Chains A and B, each alone.
Chain A
């Protein structure tokens, strides 16, 4: 193993500063007393209290949370079953489907967004269903979340000792019982990591939400976008700071979940 040279350490530090510059700026400016512009005029916490009385932001936060919770629960269940099913059982076209699973991971958000917008408007004109709102947003979010959950879960299944499942089957468990009582507890940290990823993707999403939302279903990213378009108001920086803190917390939780994965494996050995 080679040691890091001074030049490498310095350039790595510079790159970390570059990565964190926007995050730091948002946090610092959330305490800036100036109402407009980028000049610093003094320290204040008033934007946080303004935010607490901003009913638009509170409503958007509520929508974001419900959207995230519902879509994550649905996509985690479907994605986990899919990840397990694909690793064990064959069906016609599985190979192609396994590749198509990556399409939502790579496809530009905006293409997914407009395709769903067209789909919804066709269903609406033919059947009178799917008025744009929280429901259409949940359906859209689950669609891009499923592949991520399935891919994460499938990766965890690869490292699993097959004899555990065989033992359960030898002892008379059917496939479902073996999955429910043996596999699922073993891959639970992976499932939870997949769920956290799905939840973060939902919280992060602006483009798909923007195109599939209706009146009254504004989420925090949509609110931030429209505020930025009109000119940033300082309480948006306060809001963004809170969202950043939530993301940092989520990242740490996932890091811990990954530790649990390794320790369970050692425990079994």
Chain B
């Protein structure tokens, strides 16, 4: 970039906000930011601290909690319950991460052609193409998810066609099952991947690709060295935006899966509904929260 006025010294930018004393800043912050900060402190921070605290307490005899500090819930989550080693919860934890990872990978594979396609159509078509991605994004996830129950039901022509092609186990329906959960997840979260990826693809400097090709790079090398580095920020953002909600999903595995596809979200729901084991439910929630914080940390640092 060339500075349009290189000879003129930049005038010191004094804005009204910056002339204020520290107290002045605080008073005005209290007026503008204060109400929302208090709201979030009370209804977000305090509840999350309560969850963290309760995860270290003991379950009461009839649900509820007893004030007795323990790591039992975390031990149980790691597989070391009262009755010796039980792989149930470690398996669910790994399954959630695997399904979240698979959803992110498949969404990336699907989003890449779409992002490149949208970036290359004419400007008028671009608005239409983007709006078409955004509409499902704004449409109720519950509705989009239960529709797959219809599409993947045994009597639907999709299921019959798939079985006709010899994919899947004949006689075994596509829904409920892991495949159905995965299809539902990719369909539901695809817009989260397409939008950030498109934002990066749109900004690609194609002359770099041409230069690489001129210098003798083959197509794979051009992609690997001239294009991929340019879309990494959008790619990372998209993967995080899909992986985190997919890993913590409750509705999709609940509607499209069965006991064999239970994920973290389903176990949390169980603890607060039928099992009434608040400390254990809180421990799983806390693990999910830590996972999110780690993802968030990467997301906010990706620009740096």
Chain A residues within an 8 Å CB radius of B244: 106, 108
B36 touches A81 (CB 8 A): yes
A251 and B134 in contact (CB under 8 A), knowing A102-B296, A118-B282? Answer: yes
A221 touches B140 (CB 8 A): yes
Chain B residues within an 8 Å CB radius of A79: 36
A85 touches B117 (CB 8 A): no
Counting chain A CB atoms within 10 Å of each CB, which of B134, B136, B288, B289 scores highest? B136
Chain A residues within an 8 Å CB radius of B216: none
> Measured between alpha carbons, how far is A162 from B14 in the docked complex, in Å?
11
> Measured between alpha carbons, how far is A81 from B151 in the docked complex, in Å?
45
B113 touches A15 (CB 8 A): yes
A84 touches B248 (CB 8 A): no
Instruction: List CB contacts (< 8 Å) of A1-55 with chain B.
Output: 1-4, 8-9, 11-12, 15-16, 18-23, 25-26, 29, 37-39
Chain B residues within an 8 Å CB radius of A179: 32
Proximity bits, A236-250, B CB within 8 Å = 1, else 0: 000010011001101
A99 and B296 in contact (CB under 8 A), knowing A26-B147, A108-B245, A110-B248? Answer: yes
A25 and B147 in contact (CB under 8 A), knowing A38-B153, A207-B250? Answer: yes
- Interface: A203 (CB within 8 A): yes
Chain B residues within an 8 Å CB radius of A101: 40
Contact of A224 among B20, B146, B288 (CB under 8 A): B146
Chain A residues within an 8 Å CB radius of B134: 251
A91 touches B251 (CB 8 A): no
A115 touches B140 (CB 8 A): no
A115 touches B48 (CB 8 A): yes
For the side of the interface on B, what is the size category? 35 or more
A142 and B39 in contact (CB under 8 A), knowing A99-B300, A108-B249, A114-B281? Answer: yes
Contact of A110 among B46, B113, B114, B250 (CB under 8 A): B250
Chain A residues within an 8 Å CB radius of B31: 81, 85, 175-176
Chain B residues within an 8 Å CB radius of A188: none
A3 touches B120 (CB 8 A): yes
CB distance from B148 to the nearest CB of A (A): 6
A140 and B43 in contact (CB under 8 A), knowing A26-B143, A39-B155? Answer: yes
A247 touches B147 (CB 8 A): no
A250 touches B138 (CB 8 A): yes
> Measured between alpha carbons, how far is A94 from B114 in the docked complex, in Å?
38
A116 touches B43 (CB 8 A): yes
A143 and B117 in contact (CB under 8 A), knowing A107-B289, A115-B285, A169-B16? Answer: no
B114 touches A88 (CB 8 A): no
Prevailing SS type, chain A contact patch: helix
Chain B residues within an 8 Å CB radius of A19: 132-133, 136, 187, 190-191
CB distance from B138 to the nearest CB of A (A): 5
Prevailing SS type, chain B contact patch: helix
Instruction: List CB contacts (< 8 Å) of A117-171 with chain B.
Output: 117-119, 122, 139-140, 142-143, 146-147, 150, 162, 165-166, 169
- Interface: B142 (CB within 8 A): yes
Instruction: List CB contacts (< 8 Å) of B189-234 with chain A.
Output: 190-191, 206
The interface-forming segment of B3-11, B80-88, B161-169, B265-273 is B265-273
Chain B residues within an 8 Å CB radius of A228: 142, 146, 149, 255
- Interface: A103 (CB within 8 A): yes
Proximity bits, A93-106, B CB within 8 Å = 1, else 0: 01001011111101
Instruction: List CB contacts (< 8 Å) of B93-149 with chain A.
Output: 110, 113-114, 116-118, 120-121, 127, 131-136, 138-149
Closest residue of chain B to A116 (Cβ to Cβ) is B47
> Measured between alpha carbons, how far is A78 from B28 in the docked complex, in Å?
14
Contact of A37 among B114, B153, B293 (CB under 8 A): B153
B33 touches A81 (CB 8 A): yes
A232 touches B143 (CB 8 A): no
A-B CB proximity, top 9 nearest: A108-B248, A85-B32, A22-B147, A85-B33, A115-B47, A12-B117, A82-B36, A91-B29, A119-B47
In addition to A86-B32, A86-B33, A90-B22, 17 A-B residue pairs with Cβ atoms within 8 Å of each other are A15-B113, A18-B110, A20-B136, A103-B44, A103-B293, A106-B296, A107-B288, A108-B244, A109-B248, A110-B268, A118-B278, A146-B40, A175-B16, A176-B31, A179-B32, A243-B140, A247-B135
| A–B Cβ pairs within 8 angstroms, 13 of them | A1-B206, A11-B114, A22-B148, A26-B147, A37-B153, A90-B29, A97-B37, A111-B289, A111-B292, A112-B47, A179-B32, A240-B143, A247-B139
